[in-house]
Amino acid sequence: MIIPSERNSPAMQRILTLLAKKADMSASDISREAFVGITTLACGGYLKALRDKRLVHVSGWRKTRKGFVTPLYSLENRPDLPRPEFTDNDRDSAGMNLIVLALQRLGMLTYLEAAQATGLSSNTIKNARYMDILAKQKRIHIAAWRRNRAGPMIAVYAAGYAKSVEKPAPLSKAEKCCRCREKKRALSNDRGITAQLSRI
């Protein structure tokens, strides 16, 4: 696509006239107020061309609902303001908000139960570290730990801020053996009772 010169393009002139009146405008702001298509501005390269000619610069960044930031443009030949680094405290998403709402509504949940309650993928919750980030933001906390039948301890979360419960130490070999004997004993007792009942 051939990008016209700002001298010959009415669209370019409208962009520059708008930025002369208002600073810190996003591409969508410019598109709306200068009547230039968003694809022309971004994909068409109009904003890049104006930056390359040092007629406009990136003067700021705006946070969006999804947690990302969008560049803001102003007139004049100045260095672009670098994109701010995102930390866990800055992160937010619709999925994270759904988790908090589910915990407020249903009470304590593991991340797997939170996935079922919200319709989110358990892999998304785990890989995106939603529970860790929400805890760091003090929107949820670990209220308890649940021992899995086969596998590590799993955290149980509650809404709101409180000091998270420490993860219990893993069972010793002796404790594991003792639990195994208790299970076998309980199973053999069940079989004995079932056999006795079947003879009645």
Cβ atoms of residues 44 and 1 within 8 Å: yes
List, for residues 152-167, the tens digit of each pLDDT value.
889 999 999 999 999 8
pLDDT per position as a tens digit, 60-71: 998 876 666 889
HEC profile of 72-135: EEEECCCCCCCCCCCCHHHCCCHHHHHHHHHHHHHCCECHHHHHHHHCCCHHHHHHCCHHHHHH
Q: What band does 196 get if pLDDT is binned at 50, 70 and 90?
A: low
Q: 127-138: string of b/e by CB count within 10 Å (b at 16+)? A: ebebbebbbebe
Q: How far is CA 80 from CA 6, 24, 55, 69, in A?
A: 20, 12, 12, 15
pLDDT over 60 (residue 194): no
Question: Which pLDDT tens digit goes with each residue over 98-132?
Answer: 999 999 999 999 999 999 999 999 999 999 899 99
